Amino acid sequence: MSKQGYIARYFNIVRKLSQQKYCSYEELESFLEREFEMLQMQDDTLEFNFSKRTLQRDIREIRNILGIDIMYSRSQHGYYIIQDDYSSDLFLKTLEEINSFSALKLTNSLESIVYLEKRNPKRAEFLPDIVQAIQRKNKIEFSYLKFGEEKETLRKVSPLAIREFDNRWYLIADDKEVVKTFGLERMNNVTILKEKIERNISFDYNDKYKYSYGIIVPTSGKPEKIVLSVNKKQAAYLASLPLHDSQELTVINDDEVLVKLELFLTEDFISELLSMSRFVTVLEPKKLQEKIKIILNDILDKY
């Protein structure tokens, strides 16, 4: 089987056990066979070969690659993942993203049925290695090219988490006792080091991004109380896909809905507002109004 086939099988085993605790060998085999049919659409020369010996080998590889331990319960007659962390929605979403980028590339076989975004995130192939390093608490090393610079720098960091935003993947890592964010598309030559993370790093993902839209987190200042005015149609879009956890919608009349948020005024957020500028009016704070005015005036000057 191709490397993509092996990776797809590993991730599908974890996905199944994340959703169903104490899964029998027969249930796993049936599930994998159905999933394998999708891979055969890409390559009809592939044959489905799975046995209890294959499963034991896969369990060892899953432990080595992802740091996830799978055991068999004789009393429950099924396989299960020891840790409970791997049944969370965040883990399953990340698993699906990694699986789709690393293993299931079906655009050629389904091009008349499924139309995928052409701008797939670059360097998504680094995700499995980064996940493995985080799980096993190993440091990683990579070459990094910052925007606006011409020369790559070598970084050795303690990886903490991965984050997806706006069709891009980011690594959150401790770099010389400072938590930083690195775009995967600007990384090269990612290597998992034998060197372990030698200290407890204080990092709370939810606390760090509590008041941030996107990937930028200011190192100073306070979040702002933001009030926007939108029409009913735009409000329906925002209700189905909120800008942020703090979003509150208040209907004023048949034509206007107020959107309240509490966020840092980052470039990511301002860019999102500009993308909706035809349908959104900033009511508060005043300094956000001024920022939007300056940008829009600069745009008008170009025309």
* pLDDT, tens only, 105-120: 444 444 555 555 666 5
Q: Per-residue pLDDT for 195 more than 60?
A: yes
* pLDDT, tens only, 268-290: 999 999 999 889 999 999 999 99
pLDDT in the model for residue 147: 84
The better pLDDT of the pair 108, 12 is held by: 12
Query: Which of 229, 177, 203, 205 is closest to 88 using CA atoms?
Result: 205
Indicate the DSSP class of residue 186: G
* Residue where the block lists tokens 């959703």: 19
Select the CATH number that applies to the domain covering 124-204 from these four: 1.10.150.120, 2.30.30.520, 3.40.920.10, 3.40.190.10. Answer: 2.30.30.520
pLDDT in the model for residue 89: 54
Helix (H, G, I), strand (E, B) or coil at 158: strand
Q: Are strands 138-144 and 224-230 parallel, antiparallel or unpaired?
A: unpaired
Q: What gap in Å lies between CA 1 and CA 3, rounded to an integer?
A: 7
Level-2 CATH architecture, domain 224-301: 2-Layer Sandwich (3.30)
- Mean pLDDT for all residues in the chain: 82
Q: What gap in Å lies between CA 186 and CA 141, rounded to an integer?
A: 13
Q: What gap in Å lies between CA 232 and CA 28, rounded to an integer?
A: 47
* Residue where the block lists tokens 């919608």: 249
pTM higher than 0.95 = no
Q: Per-residue pLDDT for 38 more than 80?
A: no
Q: Which of 87-101, 172-186, 216-230 has the lowest mean pLDDT?
A: 87-101
Give residue 83's pLDDT band: very low, low, confident or very high (50, 70, 90).
low
* pLDDT, tens only, 213-267: 988 888 788 999 999 999 989 999 999 989 999 999 998 888 899 999 999 999 9
Count Cβ neighbours within 10 Å for each residue of 107-137 and write b for 16 or more, e otherwise. eebeeeeeeeeeeebebbebbbbbbbbbbee
